[in-house]
Amino acid sequence: MIRFEHVTKRYPDGTTAVDDLSFEVARGELVTLVGPSGCGKTTTMKMVNRLIEPTSGRISVDGEDISGADPVELRRRIGYVIQQVGLFPHKTVLENTATVPHLLGWKRSRARERAAELLELVGLDPAVHGSRYPEQLSGGQRQRVGVARALAADPPVLLMDEPFGAVDPVVREHLQNEFLRLRARLGTTVLLVTHDIEEAVRLGDRIAVYGQGRIEQFDAPAAVLGTP
């Protein structure tokens, strides 16, 4: 589903963030990218939706070389969740969630129906939370809206950059569990960046362990932990 072939990213200041990276993520697989700060995880992820362009190498999504894709169109097919979810402050929770289906040209009523369904799936009550504005929610609730919004248009691929990093540990565990259930239902292919090895192990079907600009190990959690 996602394929990197000899991908290198060098920033204009000479920093090599990612060095000759090759890997594949299968359809429906959840791969966690883990490693210390500055080792190239976010750069890897942002190249998948062309927020960052590789210096060399080839990236394909669902068999299509993305260097030829329209970035805006590409991003509608690839959900994206970051640590501080940027919800539109002047839109309600329901409107925020319906944004991408709406952009994709879904009818307003269908987009809203879908948004309500997704809010429910992430544990929010559309009748209660749907008409609120982001500032009226707790951090954990905002993060849920971010996940619902990213999934509202049924993207085949979801990119998540420290999605549970900004909430307290109890809420985090709760969100992680809900996310696992949700994903089991949707079958979305997921790349998830974290610096937390426990989170990587808990969520990942496979784990990409980063060293400086490289993946040093790419394996199932048990193998990464060194248990047979």
The CB-nearest residue to ligand ADP is 138
189 lines the binding site for ligand ADP (CB under 6 A): no
3-class SS of residue 155: coil
Tokens of 39: 């080792």
Measured from the CB of residue 22, what is the shortest distance to ligand ADP in angstroms? 17
15 lines the binding site for ligand ADP (CB under 6 A): yes
92 lines the binding site for ligand ADP (CB under 6 A): no
111 lines the binding site for ligand ADP (CB under 6 A): no
Among 37, 68, 73, 105, binds ligand ADP (CB under 6 A): 37
Q: For residue 57, give the DSSP letter.
A: E
Length of the chain counted residue by residue: 228
Given the rule CB under 6 A, which of 13-21, 57-65, 176-184, 215-223 is the region that contacts ligand ADP?
A: 13-21
Among 2, 25, 39, 159, binds ligand ADP (CB under 6 A): 39
| Residue whose structure tokens are 């960052």 | 52
Specify the residue, 71 or 187, whose C-beta has the smaller distance to ligand ADP.
71
Size of the site for ligand ADP (CB under 6 A): 19
**Cα 98 to the center of its chain, rounded Å:** 18
Measured from the CB of residue 52, what is the shortest distance to ligand ADP in angstroms? 8
Q: C-alpha angle with apex 220: 161 to 175, nearest 5 degrees?
A: 40
41 lines the binding site for ligand ADP (CB under 6 A): yes
42 lines the binding site for ligand ADP (CB under 6 A): yes
Pairing of strands 78-82, 157-161: parallel
Given the rule CB under 6 A, which of 59-67, 130-138, 201-209, 220-228 is the region that contacts ligand ADP?
A: 130-138
- Give the type of residue at 201: V
| Residue whose structure tokens are 């329901």 | 94
C-alpha R_g of the chain: 17
Among 123, 140, 156, 165, binds ligand ADP (CB under 6 A): 140
Number of alpha carbons in the 13 Å side-chain half-sphere of residue 204: 28
Q: With left for phi above 0 and alpha for psi between -120 and 50, is residue 38 left, alpha or beta?
A: left
Among 22, 55, 84, 138, binds ligand ADP (CB under 6 A): 138
136 lines the binding site for ligand ADP (CB under 6 A): yes
Q: Give the per-residue SS3 of 95-111.
A: HHHHHHHHHCCCCHHHH
Where on the chain is the footprint of ligand ADP (CB under 6 A)? 11, 13, 15, 17, 35, 37-43, 136-141, 171
